Chains A and B, each alone.
Chain A
Amino acid sequence: MLIPHPILGLRDAQEFTYLGDAALIDRPDGLANPEAFHDYLYLRDNPAGIHRELWFHEQGDRSWIVVTRNTVTHEILGAVLAQDVARARGRSR
Protein backbone atom coordinates (compact mmCIF):
# COMPACT_ATOMS: atom_id res chain seq x y z
CA MET A 1 0.00 0.00 0.00
CA LEU A 2 1.15 3.55 -0.73
CA ILE A 3 0.01 6.32 1.59
CA PRO A 4 -0.34 9.83 0.06
CA HIS A 5 1.43 11.74 2.83
CA PRO A 6 0.07 15.33 2.80
CA ILE A 7 3.60 16.79 2.95
CA LEU A 8 5.89 14.13 1.52
CA GLY A 9 3.75 12.61 -1.24
CA LEU A 10 3.34 8.87 -1.86
CA ARG A 11 5.14 6.82 0.79
CA ASP A 12 5.33 3.05 1.31
CA ALA A 13 2.99 1.96 4.12
CA GLN A 14 5.95 0.04 5.58
CA GLU A 15 7.42 3.35 6.79
CA PHE A 16 4.38 3.79 9.04
CA THR A 17 3.07 2.09 12.15
CA TYR A 18 -0.65 1.56 12.50
CA LEU A 19 -2.75 2.60 15.47
CA GLY A 20 -6.35 2.23 14.26
CA ASP A 21 -9.73 3.99 14.40
CA ALA A 22 -9.26 7.77 13.99
CA ALA A 23 -11.78 8.34 16.78
CA LEU A 24 -8.80 7.74 19.11
CA ILE A 25 -8.03 11.46 18.51
CA ASP A 26 -11.04 12.42 20.67
CA ARG A 27 -10.00 11.11 24.07
CA PRO A 28 -12.64 11.76 26.75
CA ASP A 29 -11.78 12.58 30.36
CA GLY A 30 -11.47 9.12 31.89
CA LEU A 31 -11.78 10.34 35.48
CA ALA A 32 -14.92 12.35 34.83
CA ASN A 33 -16.54 9.69 32.68
CA PRO A 34 -15.08 6.16 32.99
CA GLU A 35 -17.85 4.61 30.87
CA ALA A 36 -17.10 6.93 27.93
CA PHE A 37 -13.40 6.11 28.32
CA HIS A 38 -14.15 2.36 28.19
CA ASP A 39 -16.08 2.80 24.95
CA TYR A 40 -13.39 5.09 23.53
CA LEU A 41 -10.58 2.64 24.25
CA TYR A 42 -12.22 -0.75 23.64
CA LEU A 43 -15.23 -0.33 21.36
CA ARG A 44 -13.69 1.04 18.18
CA ASP A 45 -15.09 1.24 14.68
CA ASN A 46 -14.43 -1.92 12.66
CA PRO A 47 -16.39 -1.53 9.42
CA ALA A 48 -16.16 -3.60 6.25
CA GLY A 49 -15.72 -0.66 3.89
CA ILE A 50 -14.60 2.93 4.41
CA HIS A 51 -12.50 3.37 7.56
CA ARG A 52 -10.75 6.46 8.95
CA GLU A 53 -7.62 5.41 10.78
CA LEU A 54 -4.44 6.72 12.39
CA TRP A 55 -1.02 5.93 10.92
CA PHE A 56 2.27 7.24 12.37
CA HIS A 57 5.12 8.05 9.98
CA GLU A 58 7.66 6.47 12.29
CA GLN A 59 10.43 5.99 9.75
CA GLY A 60 9.77 9.34 8.09
CA ASP A 61 8.83 12.77 9.39
CA ARG A 62 7.13 11.31 12.50
CA SER A 63 3.80 12.97 11.89
CA TRP A 64 0.45 11.35 12.61
CA ILE A 65 -1.79 10.95 9.57
CA VAL A 66 -5.51 10.22 9.29
CA VAL A 67 -5.88 7.86 6.34
CA THR A 68 -9.22 7.04 4.74
CA ARG A 69 -9.07 3.50 3.40
CA ASN A 70 -11.44 0.81 2.16
CA THR A 71 -10.91 -2.25 4.36
CA VAL A 72 -12.46 -4.56 1.77
CA THR A 73 -10.20 -3.58 -1.15
CA HIS A 74 -7.26 -1.87 0.66
CA GLU A 75 -7.79 1.13 -1.64
CA ILE A 76 -6.55 4.35 -0.02
CA LEU A 77 -8.91 7.25 -0.60
CA GLY A 78 -7.11 10.11 1.11
CA ALA A 79 -4.78 11.24 3.88
CA VAL A 80 -4.61 14.37 6.02
CA LEU A 81 -2.41 15.43 8.93
CA ALA A 82 -3.94 14.36 12.23
CA GLN A 83 -3.05 17.73 13.75
CA ASP A 84 -5.24 19.45 11.16
CA VAL A 85 -8.11 17.12 12.09
CA ALA A 86 -7.61 17.88 15.78
CA ARG A 87 -7.40 21.65 15.23
CA ALA A 88 -10.54 21.61 13.10
CA ARG A 89 -12.26 20.20 16.19
CA GLY A 90 -11.12 23.16 18.26
CA ARG A 91 -8.08 21.56 19.86
CA SER A 92 -4.99 23.70 20.40
CA ARG A 93 -2.55 21.10 19.06
Chain B
Amino acid sequence: MRFSALRVFREALTGHKGWTPTWRDPDPQPSYDIIIVGGGGHGLAAAYYLAKEFRRARIAVLERGWIGGGNVGRNTTIIRSNYLLDGNQPFYEFSMKLWEGLEQDFNYNAMVSQRGILNLFHTDAQRDAYTRRGNAMILHGADAELLDREQVRAMYPFLNFDHARFPIKGGLLQRRGGTARHDAVAWGYARGADEHGVDIIQNCAVTGFRIRNGRVLGVETTRGYIGALKVGIAVAGNSSTVMAMAGLRLPIESHVLQAFVTEGLKPVIDGVMTFGAGHFYVSQSDKGGLVFGGDIDGYNSYAQRGNLPVIEDVAEGGMALMPMIGRARLLRTWGGIMDMSMDGSPFIDRTPVEGLYFNGGWCYGGFKATPASGYCFAHLIARDEPHPTAVAYRLDRFRRGAMIDEKGQGAQPNLH
Protein backbone atom coordinates (compact mmCIF):
# COMPACT_ATOMS: atom_id res chain seq x y z
CA MET B 1 0.00 0.00 0.00
CA ARG B 2 1.56 3.28 -1.09
CA PHE B 3 0.84 6.52 0.72
CA SER B 4 0.04 9.53 -1.46
CA ALA B 5 -2.09 12.67 -1.36
CA LEU B 6 -4.52 11.04 -3.78
CA ARG B 7 -4.82 8.02 -1.52
CA VAL B 8 -5.57 10.19 1.55
CA PHE B 9 -8.22 12.01 -0.49
CA ARG B 10 -9.84 8.78 -1.66
CA GLU B 11 -9.87 7.29 1.82
CA ALA B 12 -11.43 10.48 3.19
CA LEU B 13 -14.33 10.03 0.76
CA THR B 14 -14.78 6.33 1.51
CA GLY B 15 -14.81 6.39 5.30
CA HIS B 16 -11.13 5.42 5.77
CA LYS B 17 -12.03 1.75 5.33
CA GLY B 18 -9.17 0.94 2.94
CA TRP B 19 -6.18 1.34 5.28
CA THR B 20 -4.44 -1.91 6.16
CA PRO B 21 -1.97 -2.73 8.99
CA THR B 22 1.39 -1.08 8.42
CA TRP B 23 3.30 -4.36 8.77
CA ARG B 24 2.40 -8.04 9.15
CA ASP B 25 2.64 -9.89 12.46
CA PRO B 26 4.13 -13.24 11.39
CA ASP B 27 5.14 -16.22 13.53
CA PRO B 28 8.84 -17.05 13.36
CA GLN B 29 9.99 -19.53 10.67
CA PRO B 30 12.28 -22.39 11.79
CA SER B 31 15.22 -20.66 10.08
CA TYR B 32 16.27 -17.57 8.10
CA ASP B 33 19.22 -16.53 5.98
CA ILE B 34 19.77 -13.45 8.14
CA ILE B 35 18.45 -12.58 11.59
CA ILE B 36 18.72 -9.07 13.00
CA VAL B 37 18.36 -8.92 16.79
CA GLY B 38 16.82 -5.67 18.07
CA GLY B 39 13.86 -3.81 16.55
CA GLY B 40 15.14 -0.31 17.23
CA GLY B 41 15.99 2.19 14.53
CA HIS B 42 19.29 0.55 13.64
CA GLY B 43 17.99 -3.02 13.45
CA LEU B 44 14.97 -2.08 11.36
CA ALA B 45 17.04 0.12 9.04
CA ALA B 46 19.58 -2.70 8.58
CA ALA B 47 16.80 -5.13 7.65
CA TYR B 48 15.27 -2.59 5.25
CA TYR B 49 18.52 -1.88 3.39
CA LEU B 50 19.50 -5.56 3.38
CA ALA B 51 16.23 -6.49 1.70
CA LYS B 52 16.05 -3.49 -0.60
CA GLU B 53 19.63 -2.68 -1.58
CA PHE B 54 21.70 -5.79 -1.09
CA ARG B 55 19.98 -9.04 -1.76
CA ARG B 56 16.77 -10.94 -1.66
CA ALA B 57 17.09 -13.22 1.33
CA ARG B 58 14.88 -14.60 4.06
CA ILE B 59 15.33 -11.99 6.76
CA ALA B 60 13.80 -11.56 10.22
CA VAL B 61 14.03 -8.86 12.88
CA LEU B 62 13.61 -10.21 16.42
CA GLU B 63 12.47 -7.68 19.03
CA ARG B 64 12.17 -8.41 22.73
CA GLY B 65 9.30 -5.98 23.31
CA TRP B 66 7.56 -3.91 20.66
CA ILE B 67 9.48 -2.22 17.86
CA GLY B 68 10.39 1.36 18.63
CA GLY B 69 10.04 0.91 22.41
CA GLY B 70 13.77 1.34 23.04
CA ASN B 71 15.95 4.37 22.50
CA VAL B 72 14.56 5.08 19.05
CA GLY B 73 11.31 6.06 20.78
CA ARG B 74 13.00 7.84 23.69
CA ASN B 75 15.49 10.22 22.10
CA THR B 76 15.33 13.96 21.52
CA THR B 77 15.27 13.45 17.71
CA ILE B 78 18.23 15.64 16.73
CA ILE B 79 19.93 14.89 13.42
CA ARG B 80 23.20 16.57 12.39
CA SER B 81 26.58 15.91 10.79
CA ASN B 82 28.83 18.27 12.72
CA TYR B 83 31.65 15.98 13.79
CA LEU B 84 35.36 16.77 13.73
CA LEU B 85 37.33 13.56 13.21
CA ASP B 86 38.04 11.69 9.97
CA GLY B 87 36.63 8.39 11.24
CA ASN B 88 33.27 10.01 12.04
CA GLN B 89 32.41 12.93 9.79
CA PRO B 90 32.11 11.10 6.41
CA PHE B 91 29.81 8.53 8.08
CA TYR B 92 27.52 11.14 9.66
CA GLU B 93 27.43 13.16 6.44
CA PHE B 94 26.42 9.99 4.57
CA SER B 95 23.66 9.61 7.17
CA MET B 96 22.53 13.21 6.64
CA LYS B 97 22.28 12.62 2.89
CA LEU B 98 20.19 9.51 3.50
CA TRP B 99 17.91 11.52 5.83
CA GLU B 100 17.42 14.04 3.03
CA GLY B 101 15.94 11.40 0.72
CA LEU B 102 14.49 9.08 3.35
CA GLU B 103 10.79 9.90 3.18
CA GLN B 104 10.66 9.50 -0.60
CA ASP B 105 12.74 6.36 -0.34
CA PHE B 106 10.53 4.51 2.12
CA ASN B 107 7.31 6.37 1.28
CA TYR B 108 6.51 7.35 4.85
CA ASN B 109 6.24 10.70 6.59
CA ALA B 110 9.09 10.77 9.11
CA MET B 111 8.72 14.55 9.57
CA VAL B 112 12.37 15.16 8.71
CA SER B 113 12.78 18.87 9.39
CA GLN B 114 16.04 20.61 8.47
CA ARG B 115 15.43 23.46 10.86
CA GLY B 116 19.13 24.02 11.62
CA ILE B 117 21.27 23.25 14.64
CA LEU B 118 23.15 26.05 16.40
CA ASN B 119 26.05 25.29 18.79
CA LEU B 120 26.65 28.39 20.90
CA PHE B 121 30.11 29.44 22.07
CA HIS B 122 30.97 31.60 25.03
CA THR B 123 34.74 32.16 24.95
CA ASP B 124 37.38 33.01 22.35
CA ALA B 125 38.94 29.56 22.75
CA GLN B 126 35.59 27.94 22.07
CA ARG B 127 35.17 30.10 18.95
CA ASP B 128 38.52 28.77 17.70
CA ALA B 129 37.45 25.19 18.39
CA TYR B 130 34.15 25.66 16.55
CA THR B 131 35.90 27.37 13.64
CA ARG B 132 38.12 24.32 13.32
CA ARG B 133 35.13 21.99 13.54
CA GLY B 134 33.25 24.00 10.92
CA ASN B 135 36.24 23.81 8.58
CA ALA B 136 36.48 20.03 9.09
CA MET B 137 32.78 19.72 8.26
CA ILE B 138 33.12 21.78 5.07
CA LEU B 139 36.19 19.77 4.00
CA HIS B 140 34.09 16.62 4.31
CA GLY B 141 31.32 18.08 2.16
CA ALA B 142 28.90 19.16 4.89
CA ASP B 143 27.65 22.70 5.51
CA ALA B 144 28.71 24.99 8.36
CA GLU B 145 28.44 28.70 9.12
CA LEU B 146 30.06 30.66 11.91
CA LEU B 147 27.66 33.26 13.33
CA ASP B 148 28.69 36.24 15.41
CA ARG B 149 26.79 37.46 18.42
CA GLU B 150 24.47 39.78 16.48
CA GLN B 151 23.58 37.07 13.98
CA VAL B 152 22.64 34.80 16.87
CA ARG B 153 20.64 37.63 18.43
CA ALA B 154 18.65 38.02 15.24
CA MET B 155 17.64 34.34 15.49
CA TYR B 156 17.00 34.08 19.22
CA PRO B 157 16.69 37.55 20.81
CA PHE B 158 15.56 36.11 24.15
CA LEU B 159 18.83 34.34 25.00
CA ASN B 160 20.92 35.52 27.96
CA PHE B 161 23.62 37.26 25.88
CA ASP B 162 25.19 39.13 28.79
CA HIS B 163 25.38 36.32 31.31
CA ALA B 164 28.16 37.37 33.73
CA ARG B 165 30.08 34.08 33.40
CA PHE B 166 28.92 32.70 30.06
CA PRO B 167 28.21 35.60 27.66
CA ILE B 168 27.16 34.38 24.20
CA LYS B 169 29.83 35.23 21.63
CA GLY B 170 28.36 33.47 18.62
CA GLY B 171 27.55 30.04 17.30
CA LEU B 172 28.31 27.36 14.73
CA LEU B 173 25.24 26.77 12.58
CA GLN B 174 24.53 23.71 10.46
CA ARG B 175 21.43 24.61 8.49
CA ARG B 176 20.92 21.09 7.16
CA GLY B 177 20.70 19.70 10.70
CA GLY B 178 17.40 19.49 12.50
CA THR B 179 14.95 16.93 13.81
CA ALA B 180 12.86 13.95 12.65
CA ARG B 181 9.92 12.18 14.22
CA HIS B 182 11.61 9.30 16.04
CA ASP B 183 8.67 6.84 16.15
CA ALA B 184 7.91 7.40 12.50
CA VAL B 185 11.50 6.54 11.60
CA ALA B 186 11.08 3.14 13.27
CA TRP B 187 7.65 2.64 11.70
CA GLY B 188 8.77 3.77 8.25
CA TYR B 189 11.71 1.36 8.22
CA ALA B 190 9.51 -1.44 9.63
CA ARG B 191 6.90 -0.89 6.95
CA GLY B 192 9.52 -0.69 4.21
CA ALA B 193 11.27 -3.85 5.42
CA ASP B 194 7.96 -5.69 5.70
CA GLU B 195 7.07 -4.73 2.13
CA HIS B 196 10.34 -6.29 0.99
CA GLY B 197 9.44 -9.53 2.75
CA VAL B 198 11.20 -9.12 6.11
CA ASP B 199 9.47 -10.87 9.03
CA ILE B 200 9.23 -8.46 11.98
CA ILE B 201 8.74 -10.61 15.06
CA GLN B 202 7.87 -8.79 18.26
CA ASN B 203 7.75 -10.15 21.84
CA CYS B 204 10.63 -12.42 20.92
CA ALA B 205 13.69 -11.99 23.15
CA VAL B 206 16.97 -13.63 22.21
CA THR B 207 18.15 -15.65 25.22
CA GLY B 208 21.23 -17.36 23.78
CA PHE B 209 23.24 -18.29 20.72
CA ARG B 210 23.91 -21.70 19.26
CA ILE B 211 27.57 -21.65 18.25
CA ARG B 212 29.51 -24.65 16.92
CA ASN B 213 33.17 -24.72 15.83
CA GLY B 214 33.33 -20.93 16.11
CA ARG B 215 30.36 -20.43 13.80
CA VAL B 216 26.89 -19.17 14.72
CA LEU B 217 24.06 -21.56 13.79
CA GLY B 218 21.10 -19.68 15.20
CA VAL B 219 19.53 -18.06 18.25
CA GLU B 220 17.57 -19.33 21.23
CA THR B 221 14.53 -17.15 21.84
CA THR B 222 11.49 -16.94 24.07
CA ARG B 223 9.59 -18.24 21.03
CA GLY B 224 11.90 -21.18 20.42
CA TYR B 225 15.11 -21.87 18.52
CA ILE B 226 15.53 -20.08 15.17
CA GLY B 227 18.32 -21.07 12.81
CA ALA B 228 20.27 -18.54 10.75
CA LEU B 229 23.26 -18.34 8.42
CA LYS B 230 24.12 -14.87 9.69
CA VAL B 231 23.07 -12.97 12.81
CA GLY B 232 23.40 -9.19 13.26
CA ILE B 233 23.09 -7.64 16.72
CA ALA B 234 21.72 -4.09 17.14
CA VAL B 235 20.42 -3.91 20.71
CA ALA B 236 21.87 -0.52 21.83
CA GLY B 237 21.95 -0.36 25.67
CA ASN B 238 21.76 -4.15 25.96
CA SER B 239 24.85 -4.77 23.80
CA SER B 240 27.02 -6.08 26.65
CA THR B 241 24.44 -8.51 28.02
CA VAL B 242 23.48 -9.90 24.60
CA MET B 243 27.07 -10.28 23.37
CA ALA B 244 28.01 -11.92 26.70
CA MET B 245 25.69 -14.77 25.65
CA ALA B 246 28.12 -15.35 22.77
CA GLY B 247 31.05 -15.22 25.18
CA LEU B 248 32.27 -11.76 24.12
CA ARG B 249 33.23 -8.75 26.24
CA LEU B 250 32.81 -5.28 24.75
CA PRO B 251 34.47 -1.89 25.28
CA ILE B 252 31.05 -0.56 26.33
CA GLU B 253 29.27 0.53 29.51
CA SER B 254 25.50 1.02 29.79
CA HIS B 255 24.41 4.40 31.13
CA VAL B 256 21.07 6.16 31.54
CA LEU B 257 20.30 9.41 29.69
CA GLN B 258 17.22 11.45 30.56
CA ALA B 259 15.09 13.74 28.42
CA PHE B 260 12.46 16.33 29.22
CA VAL B 261 9.42 17.93 27.61
CA THR B 262 7.37 20.92 28.75
CA GLU B 263 3.70 21.65 28.23
CA GLY B 264 2.83 22.93 24.75
CA LEU B 265 3.81 26.57 24.16
CA LYS B 266 3.47 28.98 21.26
CA PRO B 267 6.29 28.75 18.70
CA VAL B 268 9.46 30.26 20.15
CA ILE B 269 12.44 28.12 19.10
CA ASP B 270 12.39 27.20 15.44
CA GLY B 271 15.69 25.33 15.33
CA VAL B 272 17.84 23.23 17.61
CA MET B 273 20.18 24.98 20.02
CA THR B 274 22.98 23.79 22.30
CA PHE B 275 24.47 25.66 25.26
CA GLY B 276 28.28 25.71 25.08
CA ALA B 277 29.08 26.29 28.74
CA GLY B 278 27.11 23.45 30.28
CA HIS B 279 25.29 20.45 29.01
CA PHE B 280 21.89 21.63 27.79
CA TYR B 281 20.21 21.47 24.39
CA VAL B 282 16.69 22.32 23.31
CA SER B 283 14.27 22.30 20.40
CA GLN B 284 10.51 22.72 20.13
CA SER B 285 8.23 19.96 18.92
CA ASP B 286 5.47 20.59 16.41
CA LYS B 287 2.99 20.19 19.28
CA GLY B 288 4.73 23.09 21.04
CA GLY B 289 6.56 21.29 23.85
CA LEU B 290 10.12 22.34 24.52
CA VAL B 291 12.14 19.13 24.20
CA PHE B 292 15.45 19.26 26.01
CA GLY B 293 18.20 17.23 27.60
CA GLY B 294 21.70 17.31 29.00
CA ASP B 295 24.26 14.95 30.50
CA ILE B 296 23.96 11.25 31.12
CA ASP B 297 23.52 10.39 34.81
CA GLY B 298 27.07 9.03 34.89
CA TYR B 299 26.89 5.58 36.55
CA ASN B 300 26.26 2.16 34.96
CA SER B 301 22.53 1.63 34.68
CA TYR B 302 19.91 -0.55 33.00
CA ALA B 303 17.01 1.15 34.81
CA GLN B 304 15.52 3.33 32.01
CA ARG B 305 15.02 6.08 34.57
CA GLY B 306 17.44 8.56 36.08
CA ASN B 307 17.87 10.54 39.28
CA LEU B 308 17.05 14.08 40.41
CA PRO B 309 20.58 15.64 40.50
CA VAL B 310 20.84 15.48 36.70
CA ILE B 311 17.37 16.97 36.31
CA GLU B 312 18.53 19.88 38.49
CA ASP B 313 21.75 20.23 36.47
CA VAL B 314 19.86 20.32 33.15
CA ALA B 315 17.39 22.87 34.54
CA GLU B 316 20.30 25.06 35.67
CA GLY B 317 21.78 24.92 32.16
CA GLY B 318 18.42 25.94 30.71
CA MET B 319 18.07 28.83 33.14
CA ALA B 320 21.58 30.09 32.35
CA LEU B 321 20.90 30.08 28.61
CA MET B 322 17.28 31.25 28.39
CA PRO B 323 15.92 32.41 31.76
CA MET B 324 12.33 32.49 30.46
CA ILE B 325 12.34 28.68 30.40
CA GLY B 326 11.81 28.93 34.17
CA ARG B 327 8.17 29.83 33.49
CA ALA B 328 7.50 26.67 31.49
CA ARG B 329 6.07 23.67 33.30
CA LEU B 330 7.72 20.30 32.84
CA LEU B 331 5.29 17.73 31.53
CA ARG B 332 7.35 14.54 31.47
CA THR B 333 10.85 13.18 32.00
CA TRP B 334 12.07 9.73 30.99
CA GLY B 335 15.28 7.80 30.47
CA GLY B 336 16.88 5.40 28.00
CA ILE B 337 19.90 3.12 28.26
CA MET B 338 22.92 4.24 26.25
CA ASP B 339 25.65 1.93 24.99
CA MET B 340 28.53 4.27 25.95
CA SER B 341 31.78 3.18 24.34
CA MET B 342 35.30 3.74 25.63
CA ASP B 343 36.05 6.49 23.09
CA GLY B 344 32.54 7.81 22.49
CA SER B 345 32.34 6.36 18.95
CA PRO B 346 30.37 3.37 17.63
CA PHE B 347 31.14 -0.10 16.25
CA ILE B 348 29.92 -1.76 13.05
CA ASP B 349 32.03 -4.88 12.79
CA ARG B 350 32.42 -8.63 12.49
CA THR B 351 33.07 -10.58 15.69
CA PRO B 352 35.39 -13.51 16.46
CA VAL B 353 32.32 -15.75 15.99
CA GLU B 354 31.85 -16.43 12.28
CA GLY B 355 28.50 -15.25 10.99
CA LEU B 356 27.90 -13.00 14.03
CA TYR B 357 27.99 -9.24 13.42
CA PHE B 358 27.81 -6.39 15.91
CA ASN B 359 26.41 -2.87 15.70
CA GLY B 360 26.53 -0.74 18.86
CA GLY B 361 28.34 1.78 21.02
CA TRP B 362 26.15 4.61 19.74
CA CYS B 363 26.27 6.53 23.00
CA TYR B 364 23.68 9.32 23.13
CA GLY B 365 24.04 10.16 19.44
CA GLY B 366 22.75 7.16 17.53
CA PHE B 367 19.43 8.52 16.30
CA LYS B 368 21.03 10.74 13.67
CA ALA B 369 23.11 7.74 12.63
CA THR B 370 20.09 5.48 12.04
CA PRO B 371 20.00 5.53 8.20
CA ALA B 372 23.77 5.20 7.69
CA SER B 373 24.15 2.69 10.50
CA GLY B 374 21.46 0.49 8.96
CA TYR B 375 22.97 0.88 5.50
CA CYS B 376 26.54 0.15 6.59
CA PHE B 377 25.48 -2.78 8.78
CA ALA B 378 23.55 -4.25 5.85
CA HIS B 379 26.60 -3.73 3.63
CA LEU B 380 28.84 -5.54 6.12
CA ILE B 381 26.45 -8.46 6.62
CA ALA B 382 25.74 -8.91 2.90
CA ARG B 383 29.28 -8.47 1.56
CA ASP B 384 31.46 -9.29 4.56
CA GLU B 385 33.39 -6.09 4.08
CA PRO B 386 32.82 -2.69 5.71
CA HIS B 387 31.14 0.19 3.90
CA PRO B 388 33.78 2.87 3.02
CA THR B 389 32.30 5.37 5.51
CA ALA B 390 32.36 2.87 8.39
CA VAL B 391 35.85 1.37 8.09
CA ALA B 392 37.02 3.00 11.33
CA TYR B 393 34.28 1.44 13.48
CA ARG B 394 36.23 -1.70 14.38
CA LEU B 395 36.10 -3.49 17.71
CA ASP B 396 39.88 -3.88 17.85
CA ARG B 397 40.65 -0.18 17.48
CA PHE B 398 41.75 0.22 21.11
CA ARG B 399 44.25 -2.58 20.71
CA ARG B 400 45.65 -0.77 17.66
CA GLY B 401 45.62 2.65 19.33
CA ALA B 402 43.16 3.90 16.70
CA MET B 403 40.53 5.42 18.98
CA ILE B 404 38.03 7.95 17.60
CA ASP B 405 37.76 10.20 20.64
CA GLU B 406 35.84 13.35 19.57
CA LYS B 407 35.96 14.81 23.06
CA GLY B 408 39.49 13.74 23.98
CA GLN B 409 38.35 12.24 27.28
CA GLY B 410 40.15 8.91 27.18
CA ALA B 411 38.72 5.57 28.29
CA GLN B 412 36.04 7.04 30.55
CA PRO B 413 32.60 6.26 29.06
CA ASN B 414 30.65 8.57 31.38
CA LEU B 415 32.59 11.61 30.13
CA HIS B 416 31.95 11.15 26.41
Contact = CB atoms under 8 A, between A and B. Distances in A.
Interface of A: 1, 12-14, 18-20, 38-39, 41-44, 46-48, 51, 53, 69, 71-74
A15 to B, nearest CB: 10
Given A46-B253, A46-B254, A48-B238, 6 more contacts: A1-B307, A18-B299, A41-B342, A48-B302, A53-B299, A74-B301
A72 B251 contact: no
B241 A14 contact: no
Given A46-B253, A48-B241, A41 B302 contact: no
B355 interface: no
A72 B302 contact: yes
Contact of A18 (B252, B298, B399): B298
Chain A residues touching B, majority SS: mixed
Contacts of B298: 18
A39 B248 CA distance: 12
A38 B249 CA distance: 12
Contacts of B413: 20
Contacts of A74: 301, 303, 307
A46 B307 contact: no
Interface in B278-312: 298-303, 307, 309
21 contacts: A12-B309, A13-B299, A13-B307, A13-B309, A14-B309, A18-B298, A20-B253, A20-B412, A20-B413, A20-B414, A39-B249, A41-B342, A41-B411, A42-B251, A43-B249, A46-B241, A46-B250, A46-B252, A46-B253, A47-B241, A53-B300
Contact of B303 (A20, A53, A72): A72
Contacts of B254: 46, 48, 71
B240 interface: yes
Given A18-B298, A18-B414, A42 B303 contact: no
A46 B300 contact: yes
B398 interface: yes
Given A14-B309, A48-B241, A42 B398 contact: yes
Closest 9 CB pairs of A and B: A46-B240, A43-B249, A42-B251, A48-B302, A42-B398, A14-B309, A18-B299, A72-B302, A71-B300
